[in-house]
Amino acid sequence: MEKSIEAKLNALALLIGQSYEKHKHTSHLDCENLDCENLPEHEEIIDIVLHLRELLFPGYFDRKKNCVKTIDLMISEHIAYIYERLYKQIYKSFMLQDNISQKEKIIQRAQEKSCIFLERIPNLRDMLSMDVQAAYDGDPAASSIDEVILSYPGVFAITVHRIAHELYMLDIPLIPRIMSEYAHTLTGIDIHPGAKIGKYFFIDHGTGIVIGETTVIGDFVKIYQGVTLGALSLKAGQRLRGTKRHPTLEDNVIVYAGASILGGETVIGEGVVIGSNVFITRSVTGRTNISLKKQDLIYTDKASKRSKKSDDDSMMIDWVI
């Protein structure tokens, strides 16, 4: 390497090092030796999610062939594999918050939390079985349950969410959010792990959906692409932490594409149907249909440049699926 280039690279390295010192909140270099505990490992957490999916949907995503005769062995292998990796990642997440002198107690707590989570897998299977059925029942384009499990992004997103939510409810730091953002990256569906979602939940198409942390969704709810269940304002920033910022949807609600429902005090009553592109910031009583009046469409003839409005005012409900 030429000396002039080497000098430039050395100077650049010095500048980058100075930027680490200047912006300490974007560096994780507090440890003084290489034996210190590091952050939870992103790839390891994703691997845990994928092994959990194999356990939750046996026979669909298996890395090696299984059948009824080998299912007990498969279950045992997955549980041991997941436990060993999960408790270590939980331990690392706890170490970000706790005193390093309590290391042995933190390891024990991480192991206990991992066991509690694994005990909830049968309940996760119950919930996901209903979610899969909801997707199949609710979509005339679905040809089989197999298609729904193997290919529907909404089913993948809710699978990861239900895993992440259980960890969130166990007060596990960081890991649930890494899981939810993994699903968000792949599907375009952004569900905060804190959101509470009831049984038989169906996300159709899914791209662009946002479901905030304090959202509460009842049973038998269906939502379409581009729906936002969000907060009214985030100007107060961290001062809003712990408050109910996102809406509540009661049972049997349908929300069509592009609708926005905002605010922690906003409650959408049972059986409400919300049309496309509707913007709602206050509660709606049950058994109500909400829609926009059909917009005026302007048709312009390219040759004559003459324009005319649509004369069809009869259509008041505009569902987009």
Segment 92-136, tens digit of pLDDT: 999 887 666 688 999 999 999 999 999 999 999 999 999 999 999
Q: How far is CA 34 from CA 4, 40, 60, 103, 279, in A?
A: 33, 16, 41, 17, 52
Amino acid letter, residue 55? L
User: For all residues of the chain together, what is the average pLDDT?
Assistant: 91
Q: Would you state the pLDDT for residue 102?
A: 83
* Ranges of each domain in the chain: 35-188, 195-321
Question: Does the pLDDT value for residue 13 go beyond 60?
Answer: yes
Using an 8 Å Cβ cutoff, are 62 and 51 in contact?
no
Segment 240-264 mean pLDDT: 95
- Across-strand partners of 211? 191, 229
Residue 256 DSSP class: -
Q: Residue 301 corresponds to which tokens in the numbers above?
A: 């003839």
Residue 236 pLDDT class (50, 70, 90 cuts) = confident
Closest CA to 166 of 180, 153, 152: 180
User: What does the alpha-carbon distance between residue 256 and residue 321 come to, in Å, rounded to a whole number?
Assistant: 7
Task: Please tell me whether residue 223 adopts helix, strand or coil conformation.
Answer: strand
pTM recorded for the entire structure: 0.90
Segment 207-231 mean pLDDT: 98
DSSP strand pairing (298-300 vs 307-309): antiparallel
Q: Residue 264 corresponds to which tokens in the numbers above?
A: 């922690």
Task: Calculate what percentage of the chain has a pLDDT beyond 70.
Answer: 92
DSSP strand pairing (216-217 vs 248-249): parallel
User: What does the alpha-carbon distance between residue 178 and residue 221 come to, in Å, rounded to a whole number?
Assistant: 26
Q: Would you state the pLDDT for residue 99?
A: 60
Using an 8 Å Cβ cutoff, are 252 and 316 in contact?
no
Segment 292-315 mean pLDDT: 76
Q: Would you state the pLDDT for residue 29?
A: 74
Segment 241-262 mean pLDDT: 96
Residue 172 phi/psi, 5° resolution?
-85, 125
Question: Does the pLDDT value for residue 300 go beyond 50?
Answer: yes
Query: What tens digit of pLDDT does each residue of 143-160 get?
Result: 999 999 999 999 999 999
Amino acid letter, residue 264? G
Closest CA to 209 of 190, 196, 231, 184: 190
Q: Would you state the pLDDT for residue 34?
A: 47
Segment 275-302 mean pLDDT: 92
Q: Would you state the pLDDT for residue 296?
A: 84
Question: Does the pLDDT value for residue 257 go beyond 50?
Answer: yes
Q: Would you state the pLDDT for residue 309?
A: 73
Q: Would you state the pLDDT for residue 70?
A: 82
Segment 289-311 mean pLDDT: 83
User: What does the alpha-carbon distance between residue 91 and residue 178 come to, in Å, rounded to a whole number?
Assistant: 15
Segment 238-252 mean pLDDT: 92
Fold of 35-188: serine acetyltransferase, domain 1 (1.10.3130)
Q: Would you state the pLDDT for residue 253?
A: 98
Q: Would you state the pLDDT for residue 312?
A: 60
CATH of 195-321, one of 3.40.30.10, 3.30.2130.30, 2.60.40.420, 2.160.10.10: 2.160.10.10
Using an 8 Å Cβ cutoff, are 294 and 275 in contact?
no
Query: What tens digit of pLDDT does each residue of 48-73 get?
Result: 999 999 999 999 998 877 777 788 99
